Structure 1
Amino acid sequence: MFSVQANGVDLGVEIFGRDDDPLVLLAGGTTMLSWPDALCERLAAGGRRVVRYDLRDCGASTTVDPEAPAYTLRDLATDAATLVNALGATTAHLGGFGVGGMVAQVAALDHPGVFSALTLVGTRPVAPGPVDDDLPDHDPVMGALFSLPRPDWRDRAAVAAYAADRAAVLGDDPEQARTTAARIWDRTPSTDSSAHEANQLGMVFARLDCTPRWRERLGDLTAPTLVLHGRANLFFPVGNGEALAAQIPGARLLVLDDMATALPNAAADRVAAAMLDLPTG
């Protein structure tokens, strides 16, 4: 793992595969570890140069103040487009997970010549906050998630245990969540509680300027698109993925019955096969 400068900031990246293979760029949601190692390895074995990266204020990327971001969703979209060039490519298949999927949608709309394909995982066509009337909001069981006592973010073991408890509520694998949270904690360069919270929960998106809306522009997308969603997703229920796929011309919707909010390691082969079906440029 190392940093690449793009759009005036340093973005933490990790690369799988050969330098001369077609680029698959994976935007974290918010850290790169949203994309499991197993999936990245399968994509690389399929002949792709896979680069997963941390969004700003997360992981190894430039971190200033997660509680008051001085940039917008459009800036994050430009980060993705600029990173393609910084990595020595002209086009890329762009993947976005969760809030990273919002970044990916806007990046493809604002920079249409840069992205040859899109994979949108567990996301929706509107920004964090109140949803459109036709989109399902967080499942009521999410109240149990929000009522979990917050850990001391400076305590690695407490943070990992909290992640496992959240996963149990969400229907994800608690042990996978525990391991990922510990890895995220280890990669957080600051000892500040707000930085650890931002890395674990993506809280920066609750404070980010995501205007203007982009849902009404989705019909302009021309890049072949895979929309992947977990049927058991309680945070962004599956109707969000269905609506997203319906609005993007020609999009393929893949719903995994055994997936909730996180990409399970066991789904790596199936997800990789679907992503490898998309064109490389």
Structure 2
Amino acid sequence: MPHAEAADGARIAYQTGGAGPPLLLLTGQANNHHWWDGVRADFETAYRTVSLDYRGTGDSDKPDIPYSTLGFAEDAVAVLDELGIEQAAVYGTSMGGRVAQWLAARFPDRVHTLVLGCTSPGGRHAVERGAEVRRSLAQPDPAAARQALLELMYTREFLASSAGPFNTLGDASMPAYAKRRHLYASNRHDAWDVLADITVPTLIVHGTEDLFNPAANAPLLAERIPGARLRWIPGARHAYFDEFRSIASPLVREFLDANRP
């Protein structure tokens, strides 16, 4: 597995596939690049996909130091530098969308098109998940907590008809301290003040039934980022890109294709 070296010396594993203009794919909290396994082929017919394992996950280093979404964005820039990519389209979902916000705002010359999926601005302006959702995820029974997470990610109809694999439930190989570091980084995210600085074409995508990252966050992003477009995936929960792949991938591809450099 190839690695890039971050500014602090941490080794960040990355993966590439396909051919064409580069498309950086950013995963959710406490997940590695396998988050994208079910859908990246939808983009590799026209784009060179680039993904990475955040520090603390997969084949990347796992230093026991504070993490942040801005820091993850800086690690992503290190990957782009290692690959000699000056500018890329960026598609981030969940916490990856938070990382993508920093990329577009703080490194505007590295991003030409932005897609933010099932994410939020963070901070006091964000709509937080409800208490019932938080309780369901904090159940002491691991099997019950996993089932609760599955039902936040996917509809019950989909779960009844699919045997998986479900690649959005977290990197099981992560040490406990790294999971805590990821949770803290995501919870501390607040890009509200810099969202207005994003000037690249931006698409916001969100499932209408998302309770994990409440759907009310999507219009907040769309209103805050100049010229952003908002598209809903009816009936979808958090993992809209996976369960509703046949709708979401063409939607994102159309936007990316229309904004190719």
Alignment of 1:180 with 2:180, yes or no, is: no
Alignment counterpart, residue 77 of structure 2, candidates 77, 81, 88: 81
* Corresponding residue to 1:234 among 197, 201, 211: 211
TM-score (norm 1): 0.78
Q: Whole-Å Cα distance in 2 between the matches of residues 212 and 145 of structure 1?
A: 23
Q: Deviations over 1:203-222 (max 9, x none)?
A: 42333398784312212211
State the match for 2:62 in structure 1: 63
TM-score, normalising length: structure 2: 0.83
Aligned CA RMSD, in angstroms, stands at 2.8
Matched, 1:280 2:260: yes
Q: How far is the alpha carbon of 1:71 from its aligned partner?
A: 4.1
* Match of residue 128 from structure 2: 137
Cα contact 2:137–2:146 (8 A) shared by 1? no
Alignment correspondent of 2:120: 124
Cross-structure match for 2:185 = 208
* Structure 2 partner of 1:267: 244
CA distance in 2, matches of 1:266, 1:169: 12
Unaligned 5+ segments in structure 2 are none
The answer to whether structure 1 residue 49 and structure 2 residue 48 are counterparts is yes
SS of equivalent residue, structure 1 residue 244: helix
Residue equivalent to 1:106: 102
- C-alpha displacement of 1:112: 0.5
Q: Using a 3 Å threshold, how does the CA distance of structure 1 residues 169 and 221 change in structure 2: closer, same or farther?
A: closer
**Contact 2:69 2:189 (8 Å CA) reproduced:** no
Q: Tell me: CA distance 1:162–1:43, structure 2 relative to 1, closer, same or farther (3 Å).
A: same
> What is the number of residues matched between the two proteins?
251
* Alignment correspondent of 1:146: 137
Letter in 1 for 2:250: A
Deviation of the 1:143 alpha carbon = 4.1
* 1:14 alignment counterpart: 15
Assess if the C-alpha contact under 8 Å between 1:229 and 1:255 holds in 2.
Answer: yes
Q: Is the 8 A contact 1:36 1:263 kept in 2?
A: no
Aligned counterpart, 1:115: 111
Q: Percent identity?
A: 24
| Partner Cα separation in structure 2 for residue 86 and residue 11 of structure 1 | 10
CA distance in 2, matches of 1:91, 1:82: 12
Cα deviations across residues 167-218 of structure 1 (Å, max 9, x unaligned)?
1255545456763268943xx2x6x4445xx2xxxx4233339878431221
